[in-house]
Structure 1
Amino acid sequence: MSRRLPGPPRRRHRRPGLRARLTRTFALVAVLAVLLTSFLTVGAAFRVIAALNPELALPEGGFPGWDEGGDAATPPPDPETLARWQEVGETVVRNIVRSAVQAAALSALLAVGVAALVTRQLTRPLVRLAEGADRLRGGERDLQLPVPRRRDELRDLTLAFNELTTGLARQEAWRRGLVADIAHDLRTPLAVMRSEIEAMQDGLHPLDEAGLARLHGEVLLLARLVTDLRTLSLAEGGALSLHPRPLDGGEVLRALADAYASRASEAGVTLRVHAPHPAPLSADPDRLTQTLRNLLDNALRYAAPGAVDLSADSVDGHTRLTVRDHGPGFRPGDLARAFERFYRADASRTRDPQGRASSGLGLAIARALTEAQGGELTARNHPEGGAEFTLRLPVEGRTTGPP
């Protein structure tokens, strides 16, 4: 059975659209207005002629005074004069009617032309928007429509459409990059596991505790990557269940420093906590600890050896938690991308000093968890050197999650 090849798309016959309807409507209204004006003008001219009837000698029933004896001092006009005056009156009437008809015809043609031009200008952006929507539906993302010069609703609609296509193009590029990054981060541990297993099967590597430990480490990396992806998707989608309660920022930082004391010592990092005053806040303790752990892991990975300062204070009704290291800080092109998924400022430093692999999602998760609790997470280069992350949380929190 032969398969029929698709031919070129057939051009569909478009029904009369908004432009045709507006043109007909405007033209009809203009023609009716012209006819009404012409009718009223001709009627007014006839009434003026009737008012001037004695002077023009165009009576309907004779001349005043002449049918009833008249005035001996004013003799009636002779038949030749009467015929000439009557001919003049008829000529005036014909000229008025002809002028009115010509004016009506020219006005109607002009009205149709102006209506067509105006409706074309009005509907051209709408036609472009319809065509752009078809192209957008066909998969074209980098689409920008010409913006009308007039500052009206059509201009605002076109600008909104262009912003929509720009956002869709950005999301499409981000989605493609995300899929490529996920595939790359999954492929690396899978390739390592495959090579290790095949080497063990071929007898090149012994099946001992060291080999199993290497495989176990790659499995943990895969599990961490999957867990981080799920956490990030839940936080960004608003489906993460949060249970905020009153906390003190200083106590949270001190508990975090105690938990990281051993790791920091092994990495040559000194943890210093600055929280002289109470710093009340409302947050989910587990998610807040996870956020701070991600920030501290980043500091240990990129700033060791050195010092890391943890501080807490209250400013303008918010509690501010700060994690600052004394390392090299962000490079000019890295700061704007600090919270992007899978972005690593230094590809050669993807593991912390203890050898644990990074999924590249720690900072993205930290920001998503912070925003899910009504807070804000920002990064900057400290004026005195090093990178600084500032976490702002409200004193009164909110619960985010499915009903």
Structure 2
Amino acid sequence: MKIVGGILGVLAVVVLATEITMRPSPGDRQMLIAIYVGSAVATLATIIILRWFIPQARSIRLTVFATTASAVAVAAVTIALSSGLMFSSPHDLRLLVVAMALGTLLAVVLSLSVGGSLTRDLERMARVAEQVGGGDRAARTGVARRDEVGVVAGALDGMVASLDEADSLRRQTEEARAHFLAAISHDLRTPLASLQAAVEALEDDLVDDVPRYHKAMRRDIELLGGLIDDLFLLTRLEAGDLDLIRESVDLAELADEAVEVMVPLAGRNDVELKLEATGVVRTVGAPDALTRVIRNLIDNAIRFAPPDSVVRVNVVDGGSARVEVTDEGIGFKPEFVHEAFDTFTKADAARTREAGGAGLGLAIARGLIEAHGGTIWADSGPGGRVTFELPG
């Protein structure tokens, strides 16, 4: 119905324009009405045929050709009707037929040319879709057009690029997760094996110094408990399910307490701890959480500081509260400083087995600092340097 309405609308406009501009006589009016009706019928018939044919066509080139040929045919019918009613000379009619034939052939050449370009671009898009379906994420269409086909080709290339990036990220995540689980298994296995050996020795009455074994067993249990607590805390941080009770705190005081607690560990590693503060450095935060962050950073620095070196903790108030922990180790590689705090990554040296620990310290530190609305970052070596900053 829309098509019929459109044709009738065109006819009404043309008839009105004819009446205004030509003021035809009754005889001319009848002739013009015959031309208009014949053209309208030819147009309607062509549209019906094309609507049936286009879905059946196996090529865009054929569709373009059929559309162009149909448009030429409708124009030819209109011209033929007009000439048949207006021309009386057979010579003029033959000349008109020749001109119409030439125009039709040129239209065919034009349609084949345009259709060929369109078909090639669509074939490229189809090949890329098949290649991507087969696992080739490097395939691209290479189609550069400004029309709708170009938009679709650009969207297809963008989708393939996104799939490639997502696939790469998935592989990296799987590798990092496997590495992380291996590190966790290692850290769980060591104290469990020690506990099992101690229990078997006690059961077989092979122990002379029972209190010393009990002390060692307690230390292994505390190690396991700390690892489980770290995993639980990290899970809550990643889920955003951690309630922090905030208050005004002095970061310099929290850093002093953390340094005092970590002195024994530093002594066992032949590392000296030094605290440098500019006085009271105020911020708003959860004291226990911020102390945990500073201890984690110090612990990480001690593990990678060489013997007879110094780990420094600097607390500065420069408009914002800042804590910087440095060591004299090899530090972070430049290409990995942005991944140092990721939960699953080989880039963070704190996640290597050789240094001990599953390497959750920096990941937890980042989660706690970001929960306070602060930022934390690492600088590349030589020398390890991790800094966090909180609103003052």
Q: Which TM-score band applies after superposition, normalised by the shorter structure?
A: 0.5 to 0.7
Give runs of aligned pairs for residues 253-332 of structure 1, distance below 5 A. 253-260=255-262, 270-276=272-278, 278-303=280-305, 305-315=308-318, 318-325=320-327, 327-330=328-331
| 1:146 lines up with 2:139 in the alignment | yes
Structure showing greater Rg: 1
Count matched residues: 323
Pick closer, same or farther for the CA change 1:262–1:108 going to 2, 3 Å. closer
2:125 to 122, 130, 133: 122
- Could you tell me which amino acid in structure 1 is paired with residue 366 of structure 2? R
Aligned-pair Cα RMSD in Å: 4.0
Partner letter of residue 331 of structure 2? F
Structure-2-length-normalised TM-score: 0.66
1:1-400 correspondence runs (5 A): 27-28=62-63, 30-41=65-76, 43-44=78-79, 47=82, 53=87, 58-59=88-89, 86=90, 92=95, 95=98, 115-129=118-132, 131=133, 144-150=137-143, 152-206=154-208, 208-260=210-262, 270-276=272-278, 278-303=280-305, 305-315=308-318, 318-325=320-327, 327-330=328-331, 336=337, 339=341, 343-344=349-350, 350=356, 358-380=357-379, 386-395=383-392
User: What secondary structure does 1:232 align onto?
Assistant: helix
Unmatched 5+ stretches in structure 1: 1-19, 60-85, 136-142, 351-357, 396-403
List alignment gaps of at least 5 residues for structure 2: 1-54, 145-153
Q: Distance in 2 between matches of 1:280 and 1:21?
A: 76
Change (3 A) 1:376 1:150: farther
Identity of aligned residues (%): 24
What is aligned with 1:13?
none
**SS of alignment partner, residue 149 of structure 1:** coil
Instruction: Tell me if the contact between 1:380 and 1:387 (Cα under 8 Å) persists in the aligned partners.
Output: yes
TM-aligned CA deviation for residue 156 of structure 1: 2.0
- Residues 362-391 of structure 1 show CA distances to partners (whole Å, capped at 9, x for unaligned) of 223222322333322223367xx7432211
Are 1:38 and 1:104, in contact at CA under 8 Å, matched by a contact in 2? no
Q: Distance in 2 between matches of 1:266 and 1:195?
A: 25
Secondary structure at 2:179's aligned position in 1?
A: helix
1:377, 1:391 within 8 Å by CA — same for their partners in 2?
A: yes
Paired position in structure 1 for 2:23: none
Contact 2:72–2:104 (CA under 8 A) maintained in structure 1? no
Query: 1:118 is aligned with what amino acid?
Result: D
The one-character-per-residue Cα deviations of 1:304-339 (angstroms, maximum 9, x if unpaired) are: 544433222244x532211223x3343759975754
- Secondary structure of 2:138's counterpart equals coil
Paired amino acid for 1:120:
E
Take 1:169 and 1:96, find their aligned partners in 2: how far apart are those partners? 66
Q: Distance in 2 between matches of 1:208 and 1:242?
A: 42
1:162 maps to a residue whose letter is D
Please report the TM-score for the alignment, with normalisation by the length of structure 1: 0.64
Quickly say closer, same or farther: Cα 1:159–1:298, change in 2 above 3 A.
same
Deviations 1:275-326 (A, max 9, x none): 32553333322111101011122334443544433222244x532211223x
The whole-number CA distance in structure 2 between the counterparts of 1:286 and 1:205 is 40
Q: How far does the alpha carbon of each residue in 1:148-188 deviate from its partner, in whole angstroms, 9 at most, with x for none? A: 33463332222111111111111111122222222222222
Higher relative contact order at CA 8 Å, sep ≥6: structure 1 or structure 2?
1
Letter in 1 for 2:66: V
Matches of 2:244 and 2:57 in 1, distance apart?
A: 55
Counterpart of 2:191, as a letter, is P
Structure (1 or 2) with the greater helix fraction = 2
> Take 2:141 and 2:241, find their aligned partners in 1: how far apart are those partners?
41
